[in-house]
Amino acid sequence: MEVEDLFKNYGDRVAVGGLNIQVKEGEIFGLIGPNGAGKTTALRVISTLLQITSGRVRVFGLDVDSEPDEVRKIISYLPEDAGAYKNLTGRKYLDFMSSFFASGKERESMLKKGIEITDLADRIDSKVETYSKGMTRRLLIARAVMTSPRLAILDEPTSGLDVINAKEIRDLVKKMSSEGMSILLSSHNMFEVEFLCDRVALINEGVIIEKGTPDELKSKYGVKNIEEVFTEVVG
């Protein structure tokens, strides 16, 4: 995925001001930055949700601006505070979502994979409205990755989850990446970023201010972890 000189304005306000990033195939790329830095806006633009003010975004050769329908076939986006249809059971929700990507046996195997990822056992047949936050997030992660997208865009994938649920999701993301899925994620959790990401970019006021592997960044700033890099750069 390539983002070249991406600008996104809301009226006179610049939310993203000249973003340049590349995510390689099978790579986990982390976008980190303070609140209001433009992370979610950037992810929404890449996910075809928001229109580009200027610049170019290409996902596996497809242009996000001119070929959004094609892009949506190979990506999956998990918003930070996403929800699922509460009147459906977990199984029916996954089945409904899989219907947009496949049919017949392929759809069945997609659903099976989704159910396995949720690890909800017999609760998969309970209505979503009865799920805890962790269960709902697992269901949504399963929805995002069961379709085997070439690029998964995850906005704060472990936001609001307890330690165990968050670890399970991090392990899942790592596994998906090892299977060849490219992942672009944003997070406030620096430990998570350091653990998961092959490369990270620090964004502030809509602009990338630092970029590299966690080790490169730590060495450059002579600090022990990414949290300190973040404090050095943004603070």
Partner 1 sequence: MSDIGGIIKKELRELLTLQSIIPIMVMALVFGSLGTSFSGMDQASQPPIVGLVDLDGGEYADIVTSTVLNNSDVIYQGISIEEGKQAVRDNNAGALLVIVDGFSSDITDNRSGQMEIYWYMKGTGIMETISLANVNVLMAEINTNLSRAIIADGSGLDANITLSPMVASDNTMVKDKEMDGVNPMVVSAVIDQQNIMMPILIMLVIVLIGGIVISSMGMEKENKTLETLLTLPISRTSIVAGKLIGAAVVGLIFGGIYMIGLGVYLQSFSASTSIDLSQYGLTLDALDYVVIGVMMFLTILSALAICMILGAFAKNYKSAQSLTLPVTLLAMIPMFVIMLSDFSNLSIEFQVLLFAIPFTHPMMAIENLMFDNWTLVIGGLAYNLAFSLATIYVAVRIFKSDVLLTGLGWTREKLRKRMRR
Interface with partner 1, residue 191, by CB under 8 A: no
85 binds partner 1 (CB under 8 A): yes
Rule CB under 8 A: choose which of 4, 54, 100, 103 binds partner 1.
Answer: 100
Q: What tokens were used for 24?
A: 């390689």
Cross-strand pairs, 72:
none
Q: In degrees rounded to 5, what are phi and psi of residue 86?
A: -70, -25
Determine the number of helices (DSSP H) and then strands (DSSP E) in the chain. 9, 10
State which of positions 128-147 bind partner 1 (CB under 8 A).
140, 143
Q: Which amino acid is it at 140?
A: L
Coil, helix or strand for 226?
A: helix
Of 22-30, 71-79, 162-170, 205-213, the window that binds partner 1 (rule: CB under 8 A) is: 71-79
Phi-psi region of 213 (alpha: psi -120 to 50; beta: other; left: phi over 0): beta
* Binding to partner 1 in span 12-51, by CB under 8 A: 12-13, 44, 47-51
CB of 174: closest distance to partner 1 in angstroms?
23
Residue 229 tokens read as: 């890099």
- Name the residue nearer to partner 1 (CB basis): 50 or 229: 50
151-155 and 75-78 beta bridge pairing: parallel
Write out the two tokens for 42: 């950037």
According to the binding rule CB under 8 A, does residue 160 interact with partner 1? Answer: no
Kindly tell me which of 44 and 199 has the beta carbon lying closer to partner 1. 44
- Nearest approach in angstroms of CB 83 to partner 1 is 4
Q: 69 or 122: whose CB is closer to partner 1? A: 69
Q: Which two tokens stand for residue 125?
A: 């047949």
Residues near partner 1 (CB under 8 A) are 10-13, 44, 47-51, 69, 72-73, 75-79, 81-86, 97, 100-101, 140, 143
